[in-house]
Amino acid sequence: MRQSFTTNRKLAVAGLNPHAGEGGLFGNEEVEEIKPGVELAKASGIDAYGPVPADSVFFQALNGKYDAVLSLYHDQGHIAAKMTDFHRTISITNGLPFLRTSVDHGTAFDIAWKNIASEVSMFECIKLAAEYAPKFTRESL
């Protein structure tokens, strides 16, 4: 949501291919798609960087170089987030006509009905939805 990403924040865009494609050596998505997208973001006033190799971008963000990382597919971002705090990671789905937050751990069918699941992630998910809901508009996604 645009309201949640204010000015003066550094956004890193993770590369899709190993080592962010090495200038086309390991795929051309970075050169043909990601880099032009980063440039468009910069032109619209977003302090964006990338593509940054995915094997190091999350570590760099955790240590303050970037305020947020845009990962390009599900597991790329979830692995890094879950390693940082498995129980408090939240997913926000952009591009929908409604606000959608969800827990990152999945359905946990392996422990369903055993009375051992933690409620922490669901609680964090609801708190985030409550925080964002007053700011939500269709145009904000």
Per-residue confidence band for 3, with pLDDT thresholds at 50, 70 and 90:
very low
Verify that 114 and 94 share a domain, yes or no. yes
Query: With 50 as the cut, is the pLDDT of residue 52 above it?
Result: yes
pTM for the full predicted model: 0.74
Verify that 5 and 64 share a domain, yes or no. yes
Q: Could you read off the pLDDT of 12-36 as tens digits, one per residue?
A: 999 999 888 898 889 999 999 999 9
Contact between 93 and 131 under an 8 Å Cβ cutoff? The reply is no
pLDDT attached to residue 2: 45
Distance CA 22, CA 52 (A): 11
Q: Could you read off the pLDDT of 74-111 as tens digits, one per residue?
A: 788 888 888 888 888 888 887 788 888 888 777 778 88
3-state secondary structure of 23: helix
Verify that 75 and 101 share a domain, yes or no. no
Percent of the residues in the chain that have a pLDDT greater than 70, as a whole number = 91
Distance CA 71, CA 43 (A): 20
Residue with tokens 């999350």: 58
Among the listed residues 116, 126, 121, 127, the one whose alpha carbon sits nearest the alpha carbon of residue 106: 121
Our separate counts of H helices and E strands in the chain read: 5, 5
Verify that 52 and 119 share a domain, yes or no. no
